[in-house]
Every structure is written in C-alpha cells, then in structure tokens.
C-alpha cells in the first residue's frame, strides 16, 4: 500500500473509530445491580412507561436514550425547625428511607423525573412533620408521644408519596432539641414522676403484704373455730390413747402408767 492510498484511508479510519466509540456508548450498555432502566424512544413515542429494563447487558438503538434509576432503599437525613402546639420553636433531626416503585419507574420518569426526592419526598416530609408536631406539646414530643408522632408522619406521607410512584419505607425522629431551660424542666418533671411511681409501687407492695397477713391470720382463726367446734372429750381421749399405744410399741418405752383422773386420764409412758 503506497502513501497516497494510506492517506486516503486515514479519514475513513478516523470516522469509523468515531462511530464505534459513539455507538458503544449509546448502543451497548449495562444496568448495574439495584438499578432499573427506562427507555426514551426518540422517534417512536418518547418514554416507554410499560417496559422496565432490569439489571444486565442491553442493546438499544443509538438514537434512543436509557435513563437509569437506583431502586435500592436509600436514606436521607433532614434537619427542621418546627412549632409545637404552644408555639415553641423545636429543632428536629429526622431521617426517612425510600425507593422508587420498581414496577412504575416509567411513570415516575414521565411525571416527575430523576429529582423525585427533592421535588416530592422532602416537601411532603416537611409538610407532614409541621402539621403533626403542631398538634403536640414539647414534652410529649420529647418523651411520651415520640413513637406515635413518627407513625403519624409516616402514614400521612406514605399515601401521598405512593401517588407519585414512590415507596416510603420509614420515618424516624432521631433527635429533638429544645431550649435548655425547657429541657431541664421536662427532665426534672420526668424524674419526679418516676420517683412518684416508685413510691406508689412500694406502698402497693406493703399494702398487699398487710392484706396477706390479715387473710392468713383470719384463715387460721377460722380453722381453729371449726376445729374446736368439732372436738369432744371422747375424741380427744381416743386420740390420746391411740398415740400412747403407738409410743408403747417403741423399744425405748418400759412402763405405762394410766392416769387417775375422773375421766380416766391419758396413759403415761415412763422410760428407763
């Protein structure tokens, strides 16, 4: 091959190399694990909302475009300043877990796009948090009602977010920051309540023990009354004789002396 022929082939080679690079980037693609693909068909209807491309290797026409969505569970942290029921400003650190509905990624891209977290989820979380916390007092949020508040925020947001082809997995209130004076007052109140509960527990325990002693004493008294009413002198004498005869059979017994009272008395056993 002479130099003239080589010079004529060089431009074609450059063009072929350019086409290979372009086509390899647009025609052959791999969707990573945990991702889904949505295809935009430039000349045949735009976004294909019905077909979702799963992970793996795919070949598409070079004039089309694949949009990749991360459908794994993601977590986002948010800091907010909200007003409580009594108008007090409260700082809240919360987090939420979310992911796109894996079967509705096409509709999500067509209606919202890849910035769905900032467009949909965060505004809904903020709105619901302000709405819910505005119904509670600071001490309820700080202690007794925290889990209930979380659950209420979650339920409100989950239904609204689901309408946009998104799944809200959970909402967690991680930290509540109150003014120092109020926080100290709440902690002092909680401590006093715990001490009061402990004192009531001790009193209840002592009261139950006293009741048990009274019941036990009453039972013994009732038993003695029944026993005394059922015993006669003849029964007592027969029982004494029966016991004495058993003792008389003992190898250690030597002499049996019968009492001399008017009722005959009980026999006595004299040992060596």
Cα gap 96→172, rounded to integer Å:
6
Question: pLDDT for 252-265, tens place per residue?
Answer: 655 555 554 555 55
Cα gap 31→269, rounded to integer Å:
106
| Reported confidence tier of residue 98, pLDDT bands at 50, 70, 90 | very high
| 59 pLDDT more than 90 | no
State how far Cα 216 lies from the chain centre.
45
Cβ within 8 Å of residue 171, ≥6 positions away: 94, 95, 96, 125, 150, 153, 154, 157
Other CB atoms within 10 Å distance of the CB of residue 161:
21
Which of the pair, 90 or 234, is modelled with greater confidence? 90
| 79 pLDDT more than 80 | yes
> Of 72, 70, 98, 95, whose CA–CA distance to 162 is shortest?
98
């Amino acid at each position: 091959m002479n130099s003239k022929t080589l010079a004529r082939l060089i431009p074609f080679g450059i063009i072929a190399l350019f086409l290979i690079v372009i086509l390899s980037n647009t025609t052959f693609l791999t969707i990573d694990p945990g991702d889904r693909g949505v295809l935009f068909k430039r000349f045949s209807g735009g976004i294909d909302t019905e077909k979702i491309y799963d992970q793996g290797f795919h070949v598409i026409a070079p004039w089309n475009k694949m949009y990749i969505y991360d459908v794994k569970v993601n977590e986002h942290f948010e800091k907010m300043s909200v007003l409580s029921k009594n108008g007090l400003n409260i700082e809240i650190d919360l987090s939420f877990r979310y992911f796109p509905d894996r079967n509705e990624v096409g509709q999500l891209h067509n209606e919202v796009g890849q910035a769905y977290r900032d467009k949909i989820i965060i505004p809904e979380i903020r709105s619901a948090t302000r709405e819910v916390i505005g119904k509670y007092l600071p001490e309820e949020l700080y202690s007794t009602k925290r889990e209930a508040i979380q659950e209420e925020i979650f339920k409100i947001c989950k239904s609204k977010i689901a309408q946009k082809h998104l799944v809200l997995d959970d909402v967690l209130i991680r930290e509540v920051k109150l003014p120092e004076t109020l926080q100290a007052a709440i902690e002092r109140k909680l401590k006093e309540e715990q001490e009061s509960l402990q004192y009531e527990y001790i009193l209840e325990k002592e009261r139950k023990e006293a009741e048990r002693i009274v019941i036990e004493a009453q039972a013994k008294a009732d038993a003695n009354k029944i026993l005394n009413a059922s015993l006669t002198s003849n029964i007592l004498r027969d029982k004494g004789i029966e016991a004495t005869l058993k003792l008389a059979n003992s190898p250690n017994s030597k002499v049996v002396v019968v009492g001399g009272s008017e009722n005959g008395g009980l026999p006595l056993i004299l040992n060596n």
